[in-house]
Structure formats: C-alpha cells, structure tokens
Amino acid sequence: MSFRPPLPLRVATPAGWAEAALADPAGLLSDHAHCEKKAALAALSLLNAFTGDPRSALLLAKLAEEELGHFRKVLEALQRFGWELRPDAGNRHAQGLLAASEADRMGRKGHEALLDRLLIAALIEARSCERLYLLEQAAGAHAELGNAEWLAFLFELERCEAGHALAYLSLAEDRFGAATRVRLDWWLDREAEVVTKLPWRAAVH
C-alpha cells in the first residue's frame, strides 16, 4: 500500500532512513518522548493567539491534550523496555524551519509570524506522520519493536499526527484565508530543503 502524507511534502524520506533510526531504539523512543512533550507545549503556547476564538481555542486544547497523552504513552513504553529518558537533544527539523522563518521575516508584521507558526506546526506533524509510517513498516523485523502492541502504537501515532497536520492547516485557513495556501507553497520548498540536510540519527527528525 502506498502512503500519502497529509500535506504534499516535496521530498520523500529515503527508504534506508528507518533502519538507521531503529539502530538505537532506546534513543529513538527517548527523543520521541521529547517531541511529544514539545508538541503539547507548542499547542498550549499557540492558545494565546486565539483568545476570542472559542472554536480554535478548543481545538488547540484538544491537540495539547492528545500530545500530552502521547508523551505519557511514550514514557510508559520507555519504562516497560527498561530504557531511560535521555536529555533532549533538540529537534533539528523544527530548528531548521524556525531559522527559515526568522530569515524570511525580517521587517514583516506580527500576524504573518502566526501564519508561519501554524504552517511550521502542520509541516512537522506531516513529516512525523510520514516517518512514523516508515518506522512502522521497518519495525516488523526489529527484535524489540517488532511486536504487535508496538506496531499498533506506531500506527496510532501516525494516524493522530496526520490529523494534527490538517488541524493546524485548518486553524491557519480560518484565520488567514487564501494567504495560507500561498504561504504553504513557499513553506513546502523550505521544508524540502531542511529535511534533505538532516543527518540520519535515532530520532524521527
């Protein structure tokens, strides 16, 4: 079955990536715990831009709650495997996208910064979804992560991140209308540049 990411990503992650990421499953899982934590924090911090918009605020609260649930489940999985939560080594995908936003935003106005934050969140979710799918495909043959419970968990995460990508896109479209697709087109090229330069390591990004 072919995979369609929730956003039209312009560079596909190469097939060999998942094997490299699975080389250190304890590191991969630890890094992913931090990703889920940061996803919850990002949704909560975006709430400040949606006061006076109860529907969007509620959607962000649900996103934050779901990410926090993922964070707890990844921590529980670490505990089951007897692996520890390592220090946060940072998300280079997110850092690259934020740097691209900063470089482009010189002299631009505040509301455009919010559009970028929403689109960056959507792109991170979409790339996570693509890579979780690749991990799910590769993990079947893996000694520790090849069991049915773990594969079901990866599938659940992948499905949720696809929904989150579309949720951030809809938040952007509600606020910014047609400008959203114009800016998304620009962002899809930036994301392709950033993801191509990422070193492969035991992390989703």
- Which residues contribute to the site for Fe ion (CB under 5 A)? 36, 39, 67, 70, 125, 161, 164
Shortest distance, position 108 Cβ to Fe ion, whole Å? 27
Q: What residue type is 41 in one-letter code?
A: L
Q: How many other C-beta atoms are found inside a 10 Å radius of the C-beta of residue 42? A: 19
Q: Which is nearer to Fe ion, 64 or 115 (CB)?
A: 64
Q: Which is nearer to Fe ion, 61 or 179 (CB)?
A: 61
Shortest distance, position 156 Cβ to Fe ion, whole Å? 9
**Six-digit token string for 86:** 């390592």
CB neighbour class for 116 (10 Å; exposed up to 12, middle 13-18, buried from 19): buried
In eight-state DSSP terms, residue 50 is G
Q: Which is nearer to Fe ion, 16 or 95 (CB)?
A: 95
Shortest distance, position 197 Cβ to Fe ion, whole Å? 23
Residue count of the chain, please give it: 205
Q: Which is nearer to Fe ion, 130 or 161 (CB)?
A: 161
The single residue listed with the structure tokens 């990503």 is 9
Q: Is 203 left (phi over 0), alpha (psi -120 to 50) or beta?
A: beta
